[in-house]
Amino acid sequence: MEILIKNICCIGAGYVGGPTMTMMASKCPDLIFNVVDINKTRITSWNNEDLSKLPIFEPGLEELIAKTRNKNLFFSTNIKEAIESADIIFISVNTPTKTKGLGAGKSSDLKWVEASARQVAKYSKGYTIVVEKSTLPVRTAEVIENILKTAKTNSKKEEISFDVLSNPEFLAEGTAIKDLDKPDRVLIGGDNKNAMIALNNIYKAWVPEDKILFTNIWSSELAKLTSNAFLAQRVSSINSISAICEVTGADIREVSRAIGKDSRIGSKFLDSGPGFGGSCFKKDILNLVYLAEYFGLTEVANFWQSVVQINTWHQKRISEIVVKKLFGTVTNKKLVVLGFAFKANTNDTRESAAITICKNLLNEGANLVIHDPKVTACQIENDLDINPTKSLETDISSFIAKSGAWKHSKSIDNLAIFNDAYAVLILTEWGEFRKLNWNDISKRMVPPAWVFDSRSIINTDEVREAGLNLWRIGDGLENK
């Protein structure tokens, strides 16, 4: 029997819920999308008239919001109403690693998923399809089903029933709109064919049918974790080789290019950097580790755990290199940090390598001036857990006299940020950092000044010609 869908609810208006529903709303103008969240501030930002003030920065998102918002896409905190009217509900809430209790440090904290399922059980009407959009440990669908099954009637004593599907999201931040528009695949896991077809009917509006895969629910959950684990593994692999390059005289860019030409390996995801960040890679691998340990697969658990361990080691390695190059001490030295987001084209800093590297350098007594085109001072303060110093940009001597202090710089346009700096560290590959005028910058710095390029984005000739010392990730000749 065909299941007709008209009203869609998404619980969770974050980096996944917001862009995903916006894309669906733009492709399915006859359907109504209600995106709800318990976070009032976030919803207010989603509804902000000024599209530059949306809660997340994502290229192409503003245009799509302008096309759909308050037409067939609505952001609100009215969770009850959105659930009541929904034929299909996407659960798109956060699933961070548990910080305490059973499985702490590895398994996902499902309290937000559980709360969402309970809200669905309380307010839904008639038959509803519930879709896991969040990334979840294998067999979480069972947990959701169990919660829903106990509710035979809703708060108004009306009969209710459900089907649970898994439909993990594969978008990457910074390219979310492009990824959603042309996904490599859409995965629909479940056991009720009619419910799966109903969800398929939404995607069919713009995704070619051969890209939509039907699987059983557990394969779908595991495929999402595995996909992230494989991607993270590639980054850890190439970063581990960058360390070998630096001591042997090889160049990681040349090695990447050479191995990427092998069609079995492929050229994507082979850029060595300061270590992978983002809210999901570490969390999802640790989830896999927990699963393997739970089933007594110790060797499997150790294999995946090492991908995270190498990443942590690599971030520490970079901060140590900075200290060593600056004559073994950075105490009271001003260092300019360019980039704080975990990758370019996003304002997200979760698990950003910049957090670890900056904390390590602050611990060593360095004074940091941090600039990122999209990350706010308030976000950096939260991440570093240290208040920024109040000294003015011009009051450089009092800033330098401090030790382990940091301040934010909104702009790098007038180059004042580089005055009296001992080094510049590039931690995120923002396009604007590629165009810096190193000749002008070098005149403002304290010789022998250094540039540390952890993303391989700057013109090495220009830096050298400006008389600056250069360290570049995985560059065996440059770093001698």
Q: Which residues are tagged catalytic?
A: 280
Closer CB to ligand UGA, 278 or 476, in the complex: 278
Please pick, from the candidates 57, 74, 276, 399, the single residue that binds ligand UGA as defined by CB under 6 A. 276
* Residue 56 found at the interface with ligand UGA (CB under 6 A): no
Closer CB to ligand NAD, 16 or 65, in the complex: 16
The tokens describing 370, both together, are 């941090």
Please pick, from the candidates 12, 14, 183, 277, the single residue that binds ligand UGA as defined by CB under 6 A. 277
Q: How far is the CB of 197 from ligand NAD (least distance, A)?
A: 24
* Residue 342 found at the interface with ligand UGA (CB under 6 A): yes
- Helices 298-325 and 353-363, interaxial angle, to 10°? 50
Question: Which residue has its beta carbon closest to ligand NAD?
Answer: 14
Name the residue type at position 173. E
Picked from ligand UGA, ligand NAD, none, the partner binding residue 39 (CB below 5 to 8 A depending on kind) is ligand NAD
Closer CB to ligand NAD, 171 or 199, in the complex: 171
* Residue 470 found at the interface with ligand UGA (CB under 6 A): no
Taking the C-alpha atoms of residue 70 and residue 111, their distance in angstroms, rounded to an integer, is 31
Residue among 95, 105, 94, 137 nearest 305 (CA): 105
Residue among 218, 219, 209 nearest 185 (CA): 209
Closer CB to ligand UGA, 214 or 269, in the complex: 269
Taking the C-alpha atoms of residue 347 and residue 456, their distance in angstroms, rounded to an integer, is 21
Please pick, from the candidates 228, 242, 311, 347, the single residue that binds ligand UGA as defined by CB under 6 A. 228
The tokens describing 316, both together, are 């520490």
The tokens describing 13, both together, are 């208006």
Letter string b/e over residues 423-433, b meaning 16 or more CB atoms within 10 A of that residue's CB: bbbbbbbbeeb
- Assess contact for 459 and 439: CB atoms under 8 A: no
Q: How far is the CB of 319 from ligand UGA (least distance, A)?
A: 16
- Assess contact for 283 and 311: CB atoms under 8 A: no
Picked from ligand UGA, ligand NAD, none, the partner binding residue 292 (CB below 5 to 8 A depending on kind) is none
List of residues contacting ligand NAD (CB under 6 A): 11-17, 36-39, 42, 79, 92-95, 112, 115-116, 134-135, 169, 171, 173, 279-280
- Assess contact for 424 and 361: CB atoms under 8 A: no
Q: Write out the binding residues for ligand UGA, residues 155-174 only, by CB under 6 A.
A: 169-173
Please pick, from the candidates 83, 121, 188, 280, the single residue that binds ligand UGA as defined by CB under 6 A. 280
What are 407's strand-pairing partners?
369
